[in-house]
Amino acid sequence: MNKQAIVLAAAVALAAAATGWAVDRVQTTAREKPMVMGKILSITPQQIEIELLSSGGATRQIPVNEIKGVMFEDEPGGLFQARKAVADGEYGDALDKLEKLTPAESSRRDIATEIEYFKAYCRAELALSGNGDITEAGGGMLAFAKAHETSYHYLQACELVGNLLVAKGAYSQAEPYYHKLAEAPWPDYKMRAGIAMGRALLAQGKAAEAARAFDTVIASEASGDLAEAQRMAAKVGKARTMAAGSQVDEAIRILQNIIANADADNEELHALAYNALGTALRKARKPQEALLAFLHVDLLYSSNPEAHAEALANLEQLFTELHKAEHAKRVRATLEQRYHNSRWATGR
């Protein structure tokens, strides 16, 4: 959930409290009227059904791939604050807030499930950024997925289990969880699964197989903003495979074009693209240009922990190559302080 959505949700919560009506809120990806208010009737891994506020009993089914966040009536303030911290990438702060919530504050089953999910989510993100135990976080997220197969978070939980297994190097074990994502009924989720598989293959050094996975996503005929976002991410992945081979100049051209045309609000895509560009420029033996690419991530897109750690690791090496020892030392200190257990800090 982005910051604008959080502000809007707070305003809606105040309005709902004034009406005295039991109101749940679902924040969607819709550009117009993104907030849906009413009473949640059912939740599945594919959709949330909600009885609309002041609609005479009319209901709406909201697909999970269009849901950015859910705020439940009577949920504790600590959960709202934790979601805000998550939106800001402050996973440790969010986890602290969640840990302070008592059972009495989560008597509604949906709220208790929400708290449990975000605890597992924060631990997973911390582990992936090098600030937690990968095995422990993976076990926690897997436990959530097994216990809550009807949650609207289920598919994202499966994806995170896969990501944690890839981070651990257990590539074959990750595949079944990505396949669950691929079985979702929406093209953008199928594309997400293809990208995840491509990245896992790339991590194993299987550039040709990874390229085929990314090509499948790029060739998808799915339309709309959600699908296009996945297609752009796949193009970044494909460019990485090209840079890993002999098409470095073409990879650089593609990545520069992606950066020039990407939505300014899509910080994750910019972070991924600049890191891929920096890697390609390093291979092209253009250290000064590579330095600038990685600095973009450090200075502008550091909210993505994995991408930021990768950028810092490369900056340390580049500063060392350029005989700027003090700069390299400062970058190394930041890397070890913020992402001390990450593969980028440990060299695993």
* Torsion over CA: 80, 85, 89, 93 (sign): negative
Number of domains within the chain? 3
- 337: exposed, middle or buried (Cβ count in 10 Å: 0-12, 13-18, 19+): exposed
The reply to whether 64 and 135 lie within a common domain is no
**Residue range of the domain that includes 143:** 76-167
Rg (the chain; Cα; Å):
21
Are 137 and 124 in contact by the 8 Å Cβ rule? The answer is yes
Give CA angle at 95 (142, 10), nearest 5°.
Answer: 110
> Could you tell me which residues are beta bridge partners of residue 36?
26
Looking at residue 17, what is its pLDDT?
Answer: 45
The reply to whether 21 and 105 lie within a common domain is no
What CATH code is carried by the domain that includes residue 100?
A: 1.25.40
Q: Please report whether residue 187 resides in a domain.
A: no
What is the C-alpha to C-alpha distance for residues 230 and 143, in angstroms, rounded to an integer? 28
* Torsion over CA: 49, 52, 33, 76 (sign): negative
Q: Please report whether residue 233 resides in a domain.
A: no
108 DSSP 8-state letter? S
In this model, does residue 341 exceed pLDDT 90?
A: no
State pLDDT tens for residues 294-318: 999 999 998 888 899 999 999 999 9
Whole-structure pTM value: 0.83
Q: Which of 123, 151, 167 is the last residue of a domain?
A: 167
Q: Which of 22, 39, 74 is the last residue of a domain?
A: 74
Run of H or E residues at 132: none
Q: Please report whether residue 241 resides in a domain.
A: no
In this model, does residue 19 exceed pLDDT 70?
A: no
The reply to whether 252 and 294 lie within a common domain is yes
Q: Please report whether residue 24 resides in a domain.
A: yes
The reply to whether 341 and 301 lie within a common domain is yes
The reply to whether 114 and 92 lie within a common domain is yes
Place of tokens 């890697």: 279
Q: Please report whether residue 224 resides in a domain.
A: no
Q: Please report whether residue 214 resides in a domain.
A: no
Q: Which of 37, 59, 74 is the last residue of a domain?
A: 74
Which has more pLDDT, 340 or 158?
158
Looking at residue 5, what is its pLDDT?
Answer: 45
Residues sharing a CB contact under 8 Å with residue 16, sequence separation 6 or more, in sequence order: 23, 25, 37, 73
